[in-house]
Structure 1
Amino acid sequence: MRKVRLGLHNGTGELAPRVYSSGKTQEDAISEILEAFESSDIVFFKGVVGSGKSVVGIRTALEFGRGIVSMPTKVLSDQYAQAYEREKFFVKCNGSRASLGVIKGRRNFPCLHLQERGWEGSAASRSIPCRRPLRKSEGERRLDALRECRHWGFLFPMSYDREISGTEKLPYTGISGEWMVCLRGGCPYWRQFAAYANSDVVIVNFAKWMAEIQIGRIPRVPITVVDEADEWLDSLALKAVISDKYIERLLGAVKGKPGLEEVHVELEESWKGALDGRLDPLDFAELFVSILEELDETGDDIFWKIRSVLEHREVAECERRENSILFLIPDPESVLRRLFERLNCKWLLMSATMQSGEVMREVFGIDPAVVEGETKFPGLLIQRTVGLETVVNHESWSERSFRQNYWRCLEEIMRRSAKPSFIPVHAFKYLPEEMRTKLEGDLADVIKLGDTMISTKMDRGADLKGMKSVIILKFPFPEMEDPLLKGMRK
């Protein structure tokens, strides 16, 4: 078994690898993973929360020369960047410092195009040149629209090379061919994509990663590392809903824009047809994803899920509801198989928990080699109640008195909980009105109310550093129509 050096440093020197309760070290675990890859394309690294799996994942990627690390939320990707770009850093085998690039969503960056015009706004604005709908009836292309901004950047296939001049071009190989990062100015959102060409390890959240795979521009690398892999695997039993509310938002994005009258009419009429049965929902889905891609609305789960549904039309299921359409792919094996084919690399899956071997084989169609890290929980987990908890169902929740009692119970739990505490919010309705109003008006993934952190986008509270308690608003029974359960029953 090849001996591996961890190569993790801080400001004072090289750090010693963590020693697990079994006597194994992080370096030993990496060596075992590399050995397992000699006979398997998929390895599952199992280790409890807080045991340094991220270090093992990044070092393993560096041993392959280059890799991508994906995780559920941008909060976790920010933690990776904070820990391994600023506080600590990795040294490669040649002695140079490893480069980690974190890809974030548009809302995390200001728009220089708007700023120089005296307007406030982020790179998520739908009116800016790199996002606004194109006037296709006039033959306008994205490259034409970009020239309205002197700070522009974009990712183009190499076939555009001769048409683009006066820009910095960073070529790289993506999973669908040759691409280039084109940077005309200093736009911080597009400059981060230089990591596709230059970084040793690219770090990205699940939704953005899956969208980039669908578009085909994610870099081709020899290994992909998936953190919280059990959650990711479950998400491959696709379930996506297109609702009236979402369509209204899209219609608002194109309404009144010059040259986009036809797009507005087509989207509105097609949606009505999809709801009343005049149009196949899958045909509507094709129009839907084309508009999302044109507006660069690819950072949310809805884009990659609907696009995946279209890739698996032969097994997709659609259900019309009063104001929405539900799309299902109850078979995650077909989705996973397509991902393996497109990325064509080694896979390191990491999590504190993993599905059983039977589920891995029969539901997901994989049989990964398993390497264990730390198996002993690093601390004491105490389950507590306050004695006021009760069963929540639809009938009881409809009564105002029941909701008031529920919220009084929540307030008592928050008062007694060890601080700082974390509340993962599964639905806004479980929050008192004042908390709900604040959370609905805040775009951040996590907001703070005193010593309590609240999020609608994270259900992995134990991964938040320093949290002393996690408050569960509702412990749900499984939804019997969940696509994963339907797939398992089949």
Structure 2
Amino acid sequence: MKWSLYKNKEYLKPFLFSNGKSQLDIVKEVIDAAKEGNKIIFIHGFCGTGKSAVALNIAKELGRTSIVVPVKALQNQYFEDYTNKYHINKNNDEKLKISILFGRQNFECTFTDEMADNIFLPCTIDVNYKENEKRLFEYVKKNPFVSAEDFDDYKKVRRMSVAPACLSWSPVLPADFEVTMLDDAEPLMYEAVNGKYIYYKRGGNCPYYNQYQSYIDADVIIFNSMKYELENAIGRKPKTEVEIIDECDEFLDNLSNEKIINLNMLQSKLGFFSSKYKDNKIIPEIYELVSDMIKNSDKFIENEEIFLLKETKVKNLMTYFFNYTISHMIMNDEEDYLFNVYSNLESFKPYTEETYVVFSRNKRDEIIVKLIMVNLERKLKEFLDKNKTFVMMSGTIHSRKVLENIFGIKKYKIIEAEVKEIGKRNRIRLGKEKDFNHIYLKKEGSREEYLRALSDCINKAKKPVLIHVNAFKDLPSDYECSKYNLDIKSREKLINEQMDDKTGEMIQRFKNREIDILYSTKCNRGVDFPGDMCNSIVFTKFPYADRSSLFWRILSKTNKKDADVFYFDKARREAIQRSFRGVRSKDDKVDILSPDMRVLEFFG
């Protein structure tokens, strides 16, 4: 076994860690552990481990691999590093083929000059919306596999009626799904976690659909965690020899499986489907069920009641959606809202006995059903059962108690990589710090006191400064900025900025020194600001999770003792990870500031 990492043609030797091990030693230990039959293998390594290179060398040895990253920034880092700077050679000296799956918003459409997430493209347009009628017929005319004369009513239009108008549209469908057109496609079959799937590869050069070629021939497929969960849930993810989870503690923390269904939107879609598929007797029944759920939801919303799924009509909704006729009708159109509902319900299918349901209203006064499953042990088991070996990498692994009592991980192996914390973090006290917990903040005048202390930290921090916003409510509102004459960013402005910034432009501007203050709720993981790129880090609060959230309320109710251990363990790991954003090597140093005394005490 040999190490492989090249920058252009230059061979890069494996790092040597403070414990005497090298990156190659870690790879060898993982391979041995996998051969011994260990299902879960942890790599514990702080900054300086070079986890991405270790992961790819493991892939080189074990075979086809899925790599899962929690945030887009880390996915972008893999893309930048291993498509431009570095490469790995397989044992036959061919380059390791690495593919990264990105969302539509990252690509330009080749059918029009719009971005690929535009909602009016042949592959995305709502085929069940009357206002789209004119566009739908335009696409029908461009579809080489149908005759426009057969469509005298837009209700006859299906996804297959319009999407082939774009020569690049190349869907991925279950092998048993009958496709009666796409004669120009090359059907490429692969083994997925739930059976066989076919990638219908057509002509054209759409970068979004072309990336699914990776399901056929890539050595390594890199998913973000949301895409990984979805592809596993619907059974479309290719079978691989090993799953490597980067920032694994974040991945495990987010296994709670919380989804929402907009009942009003669902009712609207079903109403149209009922008129479109007049011969189907089940759709009107589903429509009546959803209408009844909407009608009787007010009393549940008013009392903020939490129900077990099996006690509600959501269970009946699941039964309808998993009917073979209905599911096959929906499965061929992943852009439709009904597919979204189906995939959400599918993710709870094995857990109907322990899924909870809450009803609420959104800002548009629509009825929302929130489903949540807090048994993280069972959710993890779903991934474990569908896949072979898991390699979990992080500098902040959960405590043994949390791994065993929350996730049910009793048998596992931990391999130590670089475990010595690097760099220096300096606490800066300004004199206004207090324990701004939720009890203190109920006192009169405490909100103004907190905001002024936060403003003091931000204005006196050595620039460039990264501001970890634990929750939007930690920032002042526009009104508070005006009332207290504060010159820091309001929460409304940050919310709008982050909604508009889909590609991480603000992070890049901060890295390029175009701005010297970066407010963010998204820089907890996978974003590096080495050297003097970041001189100070401000924590708005100690990173405790919101205990009033549905997940923590239910977990505390069902498993109080273990929930408390998990809660404090998560906060500890988050604080360490957030400080790492500005400390990436032994020479790095960063100032830590916060109005919250608990932050300074933690780093003391």
* Shared fold, TM over 0.5: yes
Counterpart in the other structure of 1:8: 5
Equivalent residue for 1:149, pick from 163, 166, 169: 166
Cα distance change on mapping 1:419 and 1:67 into 2, 3 Å: farther
1:287-326 matches, cutoff 5 A? 294-296=333-335, 307-321=346-360, 324-326=368-370
Counterpart in the other structure of 1:217: 236
After TM superposition, give the deviation of residue 250 of structure 1 in Å. 7.3
For 1:8 and 1:337, the matched residues in 2 are separated by 34
After TM superposition, give the deviation of residue 398 of structure 1 in Å. 10
For 2:269 and 2:179, the matched residues in 1 are separated by 31
CA displacement, residues 186-213 of structure 1 (integer Å, 9 cap, x when unaligned): 2221111111112111111100110011
- The alignment partner of 1:387 has SS state of coil
Equivalent residue for 1:473, pick from 520, 540, 545: 540
Counterpart in the other structure of 1:199: 218
- Name the amino acid aligned to 1:328: I
Q: Are positions 1:30 and 2:27 aligned together?
A: yes
1:243-322 matches, cutoff 5 A? 269=291, 272-273=294-295, 275-276=297-298, 280-284=313-317, 294-296=333-335, 307-321=346-360
- The alignment partner of 1:147 has SS state of helix
Cα distance change on mapping 1:170 and 1:265 into 2, 3 Å: same
Counterpart in the other structure of 1:18: 15
- The alignment partner of 1:182 has SS state of strand
Q: Are positions 1:413 and 2:445 aligned together?
A: no
For 1:287 and 1:384, the matched residues in 2 are separated by 59
Cα distance change on mapping 1:167 and 1:461 into 2, 3 Å: closer
After TM superposition, give the deviation of residue 360 of structure 1 in Å. 1.9
After TM superposition, give the deviation of residue 458 of structure 1 in Å. 4.1
1:122-201 matches, cutoff 5 A? 122-135=115-128, 141-159=158-176, 160=178, 163-184=181-202, 185-201=204-220
For 1:417 and 1:395, the matched residues in 2 are separated by 25
For 1:181 and 1:389, the matched residues in 2 are separated by 57
Cα distance change on mapping 1:71 and 1:471 into 2, 3 Å: same
* Greater mean deviation of Cα atoms: 471-480 or 177-186: 471-480
Q: Are positions 1:358 and 2:397 aligned together?
A: no
Cα distance change on mapping 1:273 and 1:255 into 2, 3 Å: closer
Counterpart in the other structure of 2:96: 98
For the 8 Å contact 1:240–1:302, the answer to whether it is kept is no
Counterpart in the other structure of 1:437: 493
For 1:319 and 1:388, the matched residues in 2 are separated by 40
- Name the amino acid aligned to 2:403: M
Cα distance change on mapping 1:319 and 1:372 into 2, 3 Å: same
After TM superposition, give the deviation of residue 127 of structure 1 in Å. 2.9
After TM superposition, give the deviation of residue 233 of structure 1 in Å. 1.3
- The alignment partner of 2:183 has SS state of coil
CA displacement, residues 104-140 of structure 1 (integer Å, 9 cap, x when unaligned): 111111223332xxxx4x2223332223344599565
After TM superposition, give the deviation of residue 305 of structure 1 in Å. 6.2
Q: Are positions 1:456 and 2:521 aligned together?
A: yes
After TM superposition, give the deviation of residue 431 of structure 1 in Å. 3.1
For the 8 Å contact 2:348–2:355, the answer to whether it is kept is yes
After TM superposition, give the deviation of residue 85 of structure 1 in Å. 1.9
Q: Are positions 1:76 and 2:121 aligned together?
A: no
For the 8 Å contact 1:331–1:487, the answer to whether it is kept is no
For 1:113 and 1:311, the matched residues in 2 are separated by 40
Equivalent pairs, count? 476
- Name the amino acid aligned to 2:7: N
For the 8 Å contact 1:332–1:484, the answer to whether it is kept is no
After TM superposition, give the deviation of residue 78 of structure 1 in Å. 0.7
Q: Are positions 1:375 and 2:414 aligned together?
A: no
For 1:467 and 1:454, the matched residues in 2 are separated by 13
RMSD: 3.8
Cα distance change on mapping 1:24 and 1:104 into 2, 3 Å: same
Unaligned runs of 5+ in 2: 130-153, 278-282, 301-310, 363-367, 479-488, 563-604
After TM superposition, give the deviation of residue 407 of structure 1 in Å. 4.0
For 1:266 and 1:16, the matched residues in 2 are separated by 65
For 2:520 and 2:83, the matched residues in 1 are separated by 25
For the 8 Å contact 1:49–1:462, the answer to whether it is kept is no
- The alignment partner of 1:114 has SS state of coil
For the 8 Å contact 2:66–2:244, the answer to whether it is kept is yes
For 2:168 and 2:28, the matched residues in 1 are separated by 45
After TM superposition, give the deviation of residue 327 of structure 1 in Å. 2.6
- The alignment partner of 2:31 has SS state of helix
For the 8 Å contact 2:71–2:224, the answer to whether it is kept is yes
Greater Cα radius of gyration, structure 1 or 2: 2
- The alignment partner of 1:470 has SS state of strand
CA displacement, residues 17-53 of structure 1 (integer Å, 9 cap, x when unaligned): 0110011100001101111112211101100134211
- The alignment partner of 2:348 has SS state of helix
For 1:287 and 1:420, the matched residues in 2 are separated by 55
Cα distance change on mapping 1:396 and 1:100 into 2, 3 Å: same
Cα distance change on mapping 1:167 and 1:187 into 2, 3 Å: same
- Name the amino acid aligned to 2:383: L
1:38-117 matches, cutoff 5 A? 38-39=35-36, 40-115=38-113
Q: Are positions 1:388 and 2:432 aligned together?
A: yes
Unaligned runs of 5+ in 1: none
- Name the amino acid aligned to 1:132: I
CA displacement, residues 420-445 of structure 1 (integer Å, 9 cap, x when unaligned): 43334343333344553254151326
Cα distance change on mapping 1:292 and 1:60 into 2, 3 Å: same
RCO comparison, higher one (Cα < 8 Å, 6+): 1
CA displacement, residues 304-350 of structure 1 (integer Å, 9 cap, x when unaligned): 6654233310111223346644433221111111221122x111011
